[in-house]
Amino acid sequence: MLDILLLRKDLDSAIARLETRKKPQAFLNVEAFQSLESERKRLQSRTEELQAQRNQLSKQVGMLMGKGDKQGAEAAKAQVGQLKNELETSAARLEQLQGELQALLLAVPNLPHESVPLGSDESGNVEVRRWGTPRAFDFEAKDHVDIGTPLGLDFDMGVKLSGSRFTVMKGPIARLHRALAQFMLDLQTEAHGYAECYVPYAVNADSLKGTGQLPKFEGDLFAAKKGGQEGEPVPDNAALYLIPTAEVPLTNFVRDQVVTEAELPIKLTAHSPCFRSEAGSYGRDTRGMIRQHQFDKVEMVQIVHPEKSYEALEEMAGHAEAVLQKLGLPYRVVNLCTGDLGFGAAKTYDLEVWLPGQDAYREISSVSNCEAFQSRRLQARFKNAQGKNELLHTLNGSGLAVGRCLVAVLENYQNADGSVTVPEALHSYMNGQTLLKP
């Protein structure tokens, strides 16, 4: 959530920055904001005026009583009573206004950092660097669907059990998928200093509001209600949501917390399934595993001092890149433009891995600095050197998306006979197996 003081101080500048994003007209209802702010200012001014009058009258009551003027004291008390009623009405309306302003701000995305390139969509993204050289095949390269199906990738069974965009893995392909996740976890914990966590796969609405998925993106979530007593209705507040990413529970570790500066940075990682309805993406990537309703991911989260967050962003991008480098998978890093930024991000790097079957680079990780956007929602703070509570900065990134990494391994390590060579970094996780054969 944006700092309301920033909007009050320089609304025009904030609007100008928001307008560099995609569909800015949907982000902030300026007329509604200004109307609410105008009423808030008027009420706050009136409240301060009433409090001053009440204090003055209360002093008069004491003075009049001291002079023996009971009639005057009673009249002053009556005025105090009238002011009290008006103050209570004003306080109730002020509280209501604050709620309406907060609801308005919950739909407003983060402001892009000054280093984010301007652009209306993904065509405006800027390539930062590349690593590795795409392999030249001496046979016609297949995509992961044709390679993986004989190895145990079963799309038909996924449809039978759940529907489209669900996949079953069996045998060697399932083992390779597991090996990738374990390899990623070990790399992030042992080499990069993240604490491994196990988190719930279903969370409450407060957790999703804290990281920005609710209320704006409820359509992208899978929701389920907890069961109630037999014959009793289940209350609305019993709804839980399947996590779209482990970023949600991990970042919420610091919700309503004040940590010490000495505890920073907090570095967390978790392997979890992720569930996304992919609202608005129908018709895109319908073949294979690129866009699924359920997929696995090893997530990285850092919670840091505000002065360190952009240093942490570069570091986290490197942690994600290390996975691809150790697997020998060519990739590129792009700086997302303003029109392609996610809702809560101030700046994002995407890692795009080379897929021979598509003859293209495809996203396999996003690493984002949310600055204080999530912390303001979460009320996640630390006590700074001056002893004052200050909002933390939060960052998140994939390290990596396991399913897409599986796709990349299958396509980049395929052989002419339909087998797949296991990358050396995974040999110990595959019990020494070096080749997957149909």
Known binder of ligand: residue 365? yes
User: Do the beta carbons of residue 387 and residue 289 sit within 8 Å?
Assistant: no
Q: CA 251 to CA 229: how far, in whole Å? A: 32
Task: Sheet with 393-401: list strands edge to edge.
Answer: 126-131, 331-335, 347-355, 360-369, 393-401, 294-304, 266-275, 195-197
Known binder of ligand: residue 31? no
Known binder of ligand: residue 368? no
Known binder of ligand: residue 122? no
Strands 258-260, 381-383: pairing is parallel
> What count of other Cβ atoms lies within 10 Å of the Cβ of residue 176?
25
Closest by Cα among 389, 359, 166, 196 to 278: 166
- 3-class DSSP assignment, residue 251: helix
Known binder of ligand: residue 19? no
Known binder of ligand: residue 364? yes
Return the beta strands (E) in 231-325 as ranges: 239-242, 258-260, 266-275, 294-304
Known binder of ligand: residue 181? no
Known binder of ligand: residue 276? yes
User: Do the beta carbons of residue 348 and residue 341 sit within 8 Å?
Assistant: yes
Known binder of ligand: residue 366? yes
Where do the H-state alpha helices sit in 187-308?
205-211, 247-251
Query: Is 94 buried (19+), middle (13-18) or exposed (0-12) by CB count in 10 A?
Result: middle
- 3-class DSSP assignment, residue 104: helix
Known binder of ligand: residue 398? yes
What is the token pair recorded at 375? 């912390």
Known binder of ligand: residue 291? no
Known binder of ligand: residue 127? no
- Angle, in degrees to the nearest 10, between helices 402-412 and 309-327: 40
Residue 9 gets the label, from left (phi > 0), alpha (psi -120 to 50) or beta, of alpha
Known binding positions for ATP: 276-278, 363-366
Known binding positions for L-serine: 245-247, 299, 398
Known binding positions: 245-247, 276-278, 299, 363-366, 398
